Amino acid sequence: MSHPALRVGRPVWLHSGRSHPRYPELRGHHAVELVVVGGGLSGALIALGMAEAGVRVALVDGARTARGSTAASTALLLQEPDMDLGDLAGRYGLPTASRIWEISRGAAHDLVATLRRHRIACGLTERPSIYYTTNLECVGALKQELARRGESGLPGRWLTPGALRRRTGMTGAGAIETSGNAQFDPYRACVGLLEAAARAGTMIYEQSPVSQVRPTKSGVRIHTPRGSIDATKVVIATGYATRHFRPLAGRFDMRHTYVLATSPLDARQRREVGLGPVMLWDTERPYHYVRWTPDHRLLLGGSDRPIKPGARRTAMFAAATRELREYFEAMFPALAEVRIDYAWEGLFAMTPDSLPYIGPHRRYPNHLFALGYGGNGMTFASLSARILLEQWQGVASADHELFAFNR
């Protein structure tokens, strides 16, 4: 179950001085009810939810927990899936697409509630998101998207170019503003959730790559270099299908995605940039996005590129981060004066409909998967925790089918 590096470069969240509890390596043989493979946000939320429901859980990470894609994330917690309601309705019909959007909204709210309930200090702040276009030709389609959302009872309001300029300092052709989204430090959130899971009884192991999952009479046995765990079921929360699950790999389109973090902007620089307390993302695909951190840095993200066999990751990194900087300097000319303190890259696992695969797969008995979150990993990690707990408890729900492998 080895994989390419989940991220390259040092995310702002991991700046020096930050540390978190280390968990032991798995040694010897253990038995639990449920074993979770992967200690990112997804595994942390799943383990926490299960442990709080009284399930005996173990979580195993091949490296250090919270330091995979989760540490690379910019943690815009969006209620909106990456695929517009209109495009999703084109695939599945409007009632199903609306339900998916509602579920996604619920999952984002659940995550905020969980972080608050456990008092996890992670800079959690509610923020409106602004979904904008700079292209006049896209304005009609964006207005139509807002109208469709309105018909489905989903929130949102139109921003004219003037309103957009006042809210963001940028010149655009129009935008949809949605309230009730949030942002946080994903690393601290994940560390806090793992601590909460440990308090609820989860056994957590690090530096213990799972090399095999074998069937047993009563479920599965996972093997690591120095240990093994028997469980009724295993949850695979490794972000995407690792080599161990090669037959599933074709379902994921892997992309590099890039982020820049500026130095903290002083009051004058912030006035010149003109961006208010909102999160911004655009209608281009791949999209660009920007948000503030609590210490007044701007996080600038996007410039995704497909993974190409043999391509030099460092050369791609240089080109993509340059492109990202140029894009945002064109939008916010005052950024030309601002230093970039951090640049990093991570992997997105995209699915054809931008929705995750959550639940069982007929080829793998006693496995539950939580994979393929694309750019919505915060929201979908929360959704995985809900759905997998319901599946474990035997709760039947038509919602599960919307995210199943055979949808």
Q: Which residues bind ligand FAD (CB under 6 A)?
A: 1, 3, 6, 37-43, 60-63, 68-70, 72-76, 209-210, 237-239, 242, 257, 259, 301, 346-348, 373, 375-379, 381
Pairing of strands 298-306, 289-292: antiparallel
Residue nearest to ligand FAD (CB): 377
CB of 209 to ligand FAD, least distance (A): 4
Q: Measured between alpha carbons, how far is 25 from 27 in angstroms, rounded to an integer? A: 6
Report the candidate in 286, 283, 288 with the shortest Cα–Cα distance to residue 132.
283
Helix axes 186-199, 41-52, angle to 10 degrees: 30
Q: How many residues does the chain have?
A: 407
Nearer Cβ to ligand FAD (5/311): 5
Nearer Cβ to ligand FAD (139/357): 357
CB of 147 to ligand FAD, least distance (A): 26
Pairing of strands 57-60, 203-205: parallel
Nearer Cβ to ligand FAD (159/194): 194
Q: Measured between alpha carbons, how far is 106 from 110 in angstroms, rounded to an integer? A: 6
Residue 92, burial from CB neighbour count under 10 angstroms (0-12, 13-18, 19+): middle
Nearer Cβ to ligand FAD (19/398): 19
Helix axes 377-392, 41-52, angle to 10 degrees: 30
Nearer Cβ to ligand FAD (73/133): 73
234 forms bridges with which residues in the sheet? 35, 367
Nearer Cβ to ligand FAD (88/358): 358
Nearer Cβ to ligand FAD (97/111): 111
CB of 160 to ligand FAD, least distance (A): 26
- Per DSSP, the residues of 91-116 read HH-HHHHHHHHHHHHHHHHHHHHHHH
Nearer Cβ to ligand FAD (139/189): 189
CB of 377 to ligand FAD, least distance (A): 2
DSSP element (H, E) containing 316:
helix 313-331
Residue with tokens 């926490």: 48
Residue with tokens 């690379």: 72
The identity of residue 11, as a single letter, is: P
215 forms bridges with which residues in the sheet? 220
Nearer Cβ to ligand FAD (139/235): 235
Report the candidate in 343, 305, 355, 290 with the shortest Cα–Cα distance to residue 127.
290
Ramachandran class of 130: left when φ > 0, alpha when ψ lies in -120 to 50, beta otherwise: beta
Residue with tokens 């890259």: 345
Nearer Cβ to ligand FAD (139/304): 304
CB of 312 to ligand FAD, least distance (A): 19
Instruction: Provide the token pair at 317.
Output: 């990194």
CB of 211 to ligand FAD, least distance (A): 7
End-to-end CA distance of the chain: 26
Q: Measured between alpha carbons, how far is 156 from 149 in angstroms, rounded to an integer? A: 8
CB of 162 to ligand FAD, least distance (A): 28
CB of 141 to ligand FAD, least distance (A): 24
